[in-house]
Structure 1
């Protein structure tokens, strides 16, 4: 169910609620220092809804800069303060996946290859097992 959308000319956000009390924020466009406020507003809106988990889907991003990574990290901190699990969706080889890896942040975030996996995985142990199976992990 789409709850709404907002954004700027370069970055759009939309919302989707799932039956599992998971709210997904879908981003499309460029996430950088000029569009970071779109993410701040989207995360604020989402956390006000008090979901158990907040998923930020980065699959639609065409660019992610260091400032964008910083705003995602701040969102993670804010979600943790609110007691909400934050998960990112970044399919392999998409711009967001590459940028998170370059910045050394892929291990800091709970990153999933698709939205379905991010919405249903509630067990942190299962997440860690899956991460060990990822290519390039030890």
Structure 2
């Protein structure tokens, strides 16, 4: 479900709820020092919704600079502080996937090559959390 969008001339962001617990933030365009504030605002807004997981869909990026990688790392730290799992959607052959590999960030982020892989992992974690709550309550 498409929920909203915002951005600048060079970087657009929109978000959608995949279900009640997962919010996906789609980024399209250039993520660099001049557009990093778009991501900061979008992540802040998304985290205020208290999702279980926040997925940053980077498949629409045409540029990812060092400053862009830095803002993604800051988003990861912010999400962790809020108790939200942050995942990146970036195919290895896309601009973002290649750049994350070049900068050595593939070991730092949870990166998934497609929406199905992100969804399966999110479903698995949601299932484990539900079971833990049920077993703890019984």
Residue-pair matches, total? 124
Instruction: State the match for 1:35 in structure 2.
Output: 35
Q: Is contact 2:59–2:91 with CA below 8 Å preserved after alignment? A: yes
CA distance in 1, matches of 2:116, 2:5: 20
Q: What's the secondary structure of 1:106's corresponding residue?
A: helix
Q: Is contact 1:22–1:119 with CA below 8 Å preserved after alignment? A: no
CA distance in 2, matches of 1:112, 1:91: 7
Larger-gyration structure (1/2): 2
Any stretches of 5+ residues in structure 1 without a counterpart?
125-138
Instruction: State the match for 2:57 in structure 1.
Output: 57
Q: Is contact 2:20–2:51 with CA below 8 Å preserved after alignment? A: no
CA distance in 2, matches of 1:120, 1:21: 13
TM value normalised by structure 2: 0.87
CA distance in 2, matches of 1:119, 1:22: 9
Instruction: State the match for 1:82 in structure 2.
Output: 82
Question: Which is richer in helix?
Answer: 2
Instruction: State the match for 2:134 in structure 1.
Output: none
Q: What's the secondary structure of 1:56's corresponding residue?
A: strand
TM value normalised by structure 1: 0.87
Any stretches of 5+ residues in structure 2 without a counterpart?
126-138
Using the TM superposition, give the Cα deviation of residue 116 of structure 1 relative to its aligned residue in structure 2, in angstroms: 2.4
Using the TM superposition, give the Cα deviation of residue 20 of structure 1 relative to its aligned residue in structure 2, in angstroms: 5.1
CA distance in 2, matches of 1:107, 1:38: 25
Instruction: State the match for 1:120 in structure 2.
Output: 120
RMSD between superposed Cα atoms in Å: 1.1
Instruction: State the match for 2:99 in structure 1.
Output: 99
